[in-house]
Amino acid sequence: MRPRKTTARPTVGFIGLGTMGTPMALNLLQAGFPLVVWNRTTSKTGPLKAARATVAASPSAVAAASDITITMLAQPHDVEEVVLAARGVLAGLQPGSVLVDMSTVSPATSRKLAAAVLTKQGEFLDAPVVGSKGPATAGTLVILVGGLSQTLDRCRPVLSAMGKTIVHAGGFGTGSSLKLATNLMLAHLAIGFAEALLLVQRAGIGPTKYLDVLQASTFHSPWYQTKGAGMIQRDFSPHFALKHMRKDLRLMGQLAADVRIALPVTEAIEQMFAQAESAGLSEQDYSAILGYLEGVQG
């Protein structure tokens, strides 16, 4: 078993340098962790290389060089591919080292990854995040963790470089379940705000006045000031892509089926996001659901 370092900072591996992964990885470097990175599209490693990260040739090479390997990828099948493929994380994972998957995936995927990592005498955490590009850059993400508390204790300094709040949800997969329940509220909020905006505008009321009323209410939220104000401006530049929100809605449906409950409103929202994807809005921000609804209304 790999001897655990007691004084030196652990070497961290980071796989997946997208909208979220790049600022998160930069914060790890900023905090002084030696960092090894890999991304499928090699050109996106540029900012990390410039900040003195080491660029590895494959996910297995990242894992072989790291005490703690982090994945921040798009879909559950992408994470499974990057972890389980021939040159994947598992092929390089050293006994005693940790895989932390921070992507939003199903709890079933998290448990499958945990089982695979345990066969290599490794440790696993599912640790998806709440917060978008802004909090990822500021290092103020909320991190929802599933796994053993001793593994979390070991990884806490690394996670603290990326997030301000760390919640231990329970065993493997519970971080992923908690994340899906959180994004359920976000999807409902976005679609509710979009419908309300259409309503007040057609009723001849200025959207900013409506925003002021929401902010004066007991259910005020910083979300209205950031995302809501952006929606009023029709600024749909991607922070959290609509295709990822649709993916999360699909995963919520799978989880609901697994635990045998019906989520009829969430199902209807998923259909709307599916139609928005078909209308070509996948790469825009999820708030572009407003643009989709406007198009439908004519």
Active-site amino acid positions: 179
* Total interface residues for ligand NAP by CB under 6 A: 25
Contact 292, 275 (CB under 8 A): yes
18 binds ligand NAP (CB under 6 A): yes
74 binds ligand NAP (CB under 6 A): yes
DSSP 98-142: EEEE-S---HHHHHHHHHHHHHTT-EEEE--EE--HHHHHHT-EE
User: For tokens 């960092």, what's the residue?
Assistant: 35
CB-based burial label for 167 (10 Å; 0-12, 13-18, 19+): middle
Per-residue contact flags (x/-) with ligand NAP for residues 191 to 230, judged by CB under 6 A:
----------------------------------------
127 binds ligand NAP (CB under 6 A): no
Contact 81, 116 (CB under 8 A): no
CB-based burial label for 255 (10 Å; 0-12, 13-18, 19+): buried
189 binds ligand NAP (CB under 6 A): no
Phi-psi region of 204 (alpha: psi -120 to 50; beta: other; left: phi over 0): left
Phi (first) and psi of residue 187, to 5 degrees? -65, -45
Amino acid code (one letter) for 124: F
80 binds ligand NAP (CB under 6 A): no
Within residues 262-281, the interface with ligand NAP by CB under 6 A covers none
Q: Which stretch binds ligand NAP (CB under 6 A): 19-27, 90-98, 111-119, 201-209?
A: 19-27
132 binds ligand NAP (CB under 6 A): yes
How many helical (H) and strand (E) elements, i.e. helices and strands, does the chain have?
15, 9
Question: Sign of torsion, CA 116 136 280 293?
Answer: positive
Pick from 14, 33, 236, 240 the residue near ligand NAP by CB under 6 A: 240
250 binds ligand NAP (CB under 6 A): no
Q: Which is nearer to ligand NAP, 132 or 210 (CB)?
A: 132
Q: CA-CA distance, 158 to 22, in Å (whole number)?
A: 15
Pick from 19, 54, 94, 282 the residue near ligand NAP by CB under 6 A: 19
14 binds ligand NAP (CB under 6 A): no
Q: Which residue is nearest to ligand NAP (CB)?
A: 18
Pick from 11, 27, 39, 177 the residue near ligand NAP by CB under 6 A: 39
17 binds ligand NAP (CB under 6 A): yes
Site of interaction with ligand NAP (CB under 6 A): 16-21, 39-41, 44, 72-74, 78, 81-82, 103-104, 129, 132-133, 239-241, 244
